Chains A and B, each alone.
Chain A
């Protein structure tokens, strides 16, 4: 079964919204409670003091997932480096995706931006598993230059067909705006976003990872489907 990693800043009132817990009820969940320490503090020293509080908070979150009908376990990590910890635990648990938690009520509409350089197959496979036989509609979004519009339309239709075959209500949007603007326009009418982890690029170096920028632009959760082979910049 597909596993999703849910990193939570456990001692900073990190919480999981009820909408996210029910969205993830079709997948296995590992809640990663992490606490980032300044470099002056050895992780062991912080653990001695915080472990009990953190574990009790994590147990509460796991219970919320159970109440929503899902299956969750938790890991607790004290770290100096959040990205490294998320990468490592995602690898160790074999998670297909990780979540940037946001707040949402029940999720009815998922926004799934596609791009040429991320694995469309992997994203669609994940969306299919995630939605299952629930009444959740999906909007596939693709932003391309006008010259590449035909190619883009073909990609979108092909992808939409695959989801429709599985009984998922699917809409498509082809935009000629810049990808990020197109995404920002579509965000308000959706409850959560599924994006593919993009390969590191000059833009991501200058402006931050796409997934982080998406998360900044929305209050809802962002599910990031991990790239399999391409190394992420934090590794």
Chain B
């Protein structure tokens, strides 16, 4: 096994040491690190991160772009996510460490790719969290309106900022374990959605409610260039699938990682994929895509009202608030782990991984997450935030598939995954091609900003840590 070597510009070297991984703990020379997250916890992280965006924010936006075929866009996203989740699962069982995608790529491909991905993951999560918070802001305003306090759309951003700052402070000072709460919220969300879908499907097939006029599968205006809007919409809504790899950022804390990591990652993609497609189908059949598009970010509230009156609207608002909050909170936690992983490898200053003495929380990393999140939230650009988040994640997903192929072609001695990707090499090759391919269908502004962030990350590597070698070092 190669050791990581070299130092960064401040003379810090990557901190690594031999460890023994068991199902229940990581055993180092002097201490043990307990694995405490079970399968349900892993699924809650995956589903809890994803479900906020896809169901509660995107339906209106997606319907405006792709019409009834928006369901197809979500299906494409699910297929891409699944093609990546399988290789990611294999890598995670071979390297059950905190840091997830960053760790696999830095060890499989090298420090340059690792730095680009590690910093992109940080920013990708920051963009995603800002997007969730803006979504939360829309739901908060709707909730106030439902309570008879009409505040108008001007309060969306201030409310999002308020809660974003609140989350950051809570994460620094809060020592209560919220994991059980997160599991409960996810279970509640899934039940809300299943009831909603039950009514919706009965309505869509005409058993209850008034018959709705059939709609053409592609919106009339774009029927000639039919597949393009479906793909650009898929690129936009892919943000709804950014949660499964976040499971890998806590890989070092998962019990029985060989079993639980693949189940949690693949399982959460399958669960949300099916829910998304069904929800979009129900929403577009209830209202038609044009009306849905007019309703914007909180279109689902009106869909809920359509099926179940004000109780339905209330339940969807509650779901939207909980879902966007749980997405934001789970992402902030992943961000601090992503920052820790790059800082441990000396790619950014070691100070970033300091732990606060009073609360025992990583306050520097949380600040490095929360600060930029607030700045981005202030822009309020839902679609741009979502696409850049997707862009940065898709780069990681593509490289993750590449890392799997590199590792498989010349398996190092330590490479011993307990889960092996079925359909190798087709699945990782398709995963890489579709991940990079989806980027091509984004808005030019997102593409440019995404590339700028990656170039900046590469520049940082050459300035700060060019002597650090990580390839092949477990």
Residues of A within 8 A of B (CB): 35, 37-51, 54-55, 75-81, 84-85, 88
Q: A45-B353, A80-B177 are in contact. Are A38 and B361 (CB under 8 A)?
A: yes
Q: Taking each of A43, A51, A79, which has the highest tally of chain B beta carbons within 10 Å of its own beta carbon? A: A43
CB pair B366–A78 under 8 Å, yes or no, is no
7 A-B pairs besides A39-B177, A43-B33, A88-B34 with CB distance below 8 A are A35-B360, A40-B362, A41-B355, A41-B361, A41-B362, A42-B337, A55-B30
A44 CA to B336 CA, complexed, in Å: 13
Q: How far in angstroms is the closest Cβ of chain A from B266?
A: 23
A76 CA to B37 CA, complexed, in Å: 19
CB pair B361–A77 under 8 Å, yes or no, is no
Number of interface residues of B (CB under 8 A): 37
Q: A41-B355, A42-B340, A77-B25 are in contact. Are A51 and B30 (CB under 8 A)?
A: yes
A51 CA to B178 CA, complexed, in Å: 25
Q: A38-B177, A40-B171 are in contact. Are A49 and B34 (CB under 8 A)?
A: no
B28 at the interface (CB under 8 A from A): yes
Residues of B within 8 A of A (CB): 15, 24-26, 28, 30-34, 36-37, 98, 171-172, 174-179, 250, 252-253, 333, 336-337, 340, 344, 353-355, 359-362, 366
A42 CA to B355 CA, complexed, in Å: 10
CB pair B24–A88 under 8 Å, yes or no, is yes
Chain B residues near A45 (CB-CB < 8 A): 98, 340, 344, 353, 355, 362
Q: How far in angstroms is the closest Cβ of chain A from B459?
A: 27
Q: Select from chain B the residue with minimum beta-carbon distance to A34.
A: B34
A46 CA to B355 CA, complexed, in Å: 7
CB pair A40–B366 under 8 Å, yes or no, is yes
A49 CA to B171 CA, complexed, in Å: 19
Chain B residues near A80 (CB-CB < 8 A): 34, 36-37, 177, 179, 253
Partner of A38 from B24, B28, B359 at Cβ < 8 Å: B359
CB pair A40–B34 under 8 Å, yes or no, is no
CB pair B361–A40 under 8 Å, yes or no, is yes
CB pair B174–A38 under 8 Å, yes or no, is yes
Q: Select from chain A the residue with minimum beta-carbon distance to B176.
A: A38
A75 CA to B179 CA, complexed, in Å: 26
Partner of A37 from B37, B98, B354, B360 at Cβ < 8 Å: B360
Listed by A's residue number, 12 A-B pairs whose Cβ atoms lie within 8 Å are A35-B360, A38-B176, A39-B177, A40-B361, A41-B355, A42-B362, A44-B252, A50-B355, A76-B31, A77-B32, A80-B37, A85-B34
A55 CA to B28 CA, complexed, in Å: 13
CB pair A47–B34 under 8 Å, yes or no, is no
Q: A38-B359, A81-B36 are in contact. Are A54 and B174 (CB under 8 A)?
A: no
A55 CA to B30 CA, complexed, in Å: 8
Partner of B333 from A35, A39, A46, A77 at Cβ < 8 Å: A39
A219 CA to B97 CA, complexed, in Å: 41
Q: How far in angstroms is the closest Cβ of chain B from A89?
A: 8
Q: How far in angstroms is the closest Cβ of chain A from B165?
A: 16
Chain A residues near B353 (CB-CB < 8 A): 45, 48
Chain A residues near B15 (CB-CB < 8 A): 48
Partner of A49 from B24, B32, B355, B359 at Cβ < 8 Å: B355
Q: How far in angstroms is the closest Cβ of chain B from A84?
A: 6
CB pair B34–A79 under 8 Å, yes or no, is yes
A77 CA to B25 CA, complexed, in Å: 9
Chain B residues near A46 (CB-CB < 8 A): 355, 360
A44 CA to B353 CA, complexed, in Å: 10
Q: How far in angstroms is the closest Cβ of chain B from A95?
A: 15
CB pair A40–B36 under 8 Å, yes or no, is no
Chain A residues near B172 (CB-CB < 8 A): 40
CB pair A39–B179 under 8 Å, yes or no, is yes
A51 CA to B33 CA, complexed, in Å: 11
A55 CA to B178 CA, complexed, in Å: 29
Q: A40-B361, A42-B337, A79-B34 are in contact. Are A47 and B28 (CB under 8 A)?
A: yes
Q: How far in angstroms is the closest Cβ of chain B from A25?
A: 26
Q: How far in angstroms is the closest Cβ of chain A from B136?
A: 20
CB pair B32–A40 under 8 Å, yes or no, is no
Chain A residues near B171 (CB-CB < 8 A): 40
